[in-house]
Amino acid sequence: MMQQTWYDHPVWIVTEPELAKAVLTDSRFAKDTALAPQHWDAATAGLEPTAAEQLAITTLDGEPHSRLRKAFAPLFTGAKLRAFYPDMRYIAERLLGELPNEVDLVEDFTPRYPLAVLCELLGITAQHVETAMASCRLMLVDYPANVPTAMAGFARLSAEATAELRMPDGTTEHDLHYQIFTILFAGQITTDLAASSLVARLLTTDEPPDVLVRESLRAHPPAPYTLWRFTTCEVDLDGARLPQGAPVLVDLTRVPDLVFGHGPHYCIGAQLAQLELRALAETFRTSYPNARLTAPLTRTEPDGIMGSRLHALPVKLA
């Protein structure tokens, strides 16, 4: 475990797998951003609205978190996702088939593919994928200036969704819109990065799809850290005494087997993401056996909530 100073405040970063699992299952490490240091700027520190401000699966803990998590459950059952797998293959094949023979896949394909899959899963028709693309991009430009416009786009998408989310009693239409935003935005920014890493690896190895998925995620986690957690009381951890309100992160570049988390907040979309990547690998290998890179690859450094990404993925498909 390391202690560093971020935003003029001590931050503890967990780097050992077993210690990370302990933190991710310990209720004394809470997700509510209301516990963050009071002087932190939410935009700079990447803080979501507090649990009191916005119902969200990523900031609730305990029974409220369990109740909201059940709202997502019908979308992500194993049986539903296995039945949906041919649709993922079809979407990958269709989107790849629309590309020119020489293309930079990170320009449009790797951001679009996960959103096309998620929109189909949510019952949002393909014509609205452009709205999803535009809204996701706005979330990453001049944050948080464009958030209201982006969230208006996600609200329109929520109105188009036909999939059932079993929202807890007492929730509002705005709460439903926020859950659709969470599914689309979180599913896009992570799978976008993972898909580009997977295709780059696919073009340089002969690993089978399951190995490609696992090793791509291990080598280049889509996020460098877990979301923030904050101690609800003083905690002794690995020989260090953390005060109440201590910010804690798990370094996923050092514990990549926990890329989808662990414990109560294990990513509810983990199986979907892995199947999406497998579908892409199988489709790419089958349809474009002679595809090749046309230039050396370089990567950005991890930045905030975003893992490293390829500057470009120039490919000749046939």
Q: What is the phi/psi pair of residue 180, to 5°? A: -65, -40
Q: ∠ at Cα 224 (69, 1), nearest 5°?
A: 95
Looking at residue 215, what is its pLDDT? 97
pLDDT digits (tens, 9 = 90+) for 191-236: 999 999 999 999 999 999 999 999 999 999 999 999 999 999 999 9
Strand 229-231 to 29-30 pairing: antiparallel
The answer to whether 72 touches 57, Cβ cutoff 8 Å, is: yes
Report how far residue 51's alpha carbon sits from residue 282's, in angstroms, rounded to the nearest whole number.
Answer: 40
Residue 305 in this model has a pLDDT that exceeds 80? no
Among 59, 42, 41, residue whose Cα is nearest residue 226: 59
The whole-number pLDDT of residue 246 equals 98
| pLDDT tens for each residue of 93-148 | 999 999 999 999 999 999 999 999 999 999 999 999 999 999 999 998 988 899 99
Cβ–Cβ under 8 Å, residues 258 and 240: no
- Strand segments, DSSP code E, in the chain are 2-6, 9-14, 29-30, 102-104, 229-231, 235-237, 240-242, 247-250, 292-293, 314-316
258 secondary structure, DSSP code: G
Q: Look up tokens 């996701």; give the residue.
A: 136
Q: Average pLDDT in the 275-283 region?
A: 98
In 56-142, DSSP assigns E strands to 102-104
Q: What percent of the chain has pLDDT over 70?
A: 100
Measuring CA to CA, which residue among 38, 73, 7, 49 is closest to residue 249? 7
Q: Report the sign of the C-alpha dihedral through residues 113, 126, 184, 154, in that order.
A: positive
Percentage of the chain exceeding pLDDT 90: 92
Q: Is the pTM of this model over 0.85?
A: yes
Which pair of tokens denotes residue 310?
């390829």
**What is the chain's mean pLDDT, rounded?**
95
68-91 pLDDT, tens per residue?
A: 999 988 999 999 999 999 999 999
Is the pLDDT at 304 greater than 90? The verdict is no
pLDDT in tens, 25-35: 999 999 999 99
Cα separation, 16 vs 2, in Å, equals: 10
How far is Cα 200 from Cα 207, in angstroms, rounded to an integer?
12
Find how far residue 87's CA is from the centre of its chain. 21
Tell whether omega for the bond before 144 is within 30 degrees of 0, i.e. cis.
Answer: yes
pLDDT at residue 271 is higher than 90: yes
CB atoms within 10 A of CB 38: 8
- The partner residues of 242 in beta bridges, in order of sequence, read 235
Provide the CA 101 distance to its chain's centre, in angstroms. Answer: 29
Token pair 């050092």 is found at: 254
**pLDDT recorded at residue 15:** 96
Structural contact between residues 283 and 317, judged by C-beta atoms closer than 8 angstroms: no
Taking the CB of residue 74, how many other CB atoms lie within 10 A of it?
12
Angle at 54 between CA 47 and CA 135, to 5 degrees: 70
CA distance 146 to 133: 14
Neighbours of 305 (CB within 10 A): 17
Tokens 């986690």 locate to 221
- 284 pLDDT above the threshold of 90: yes
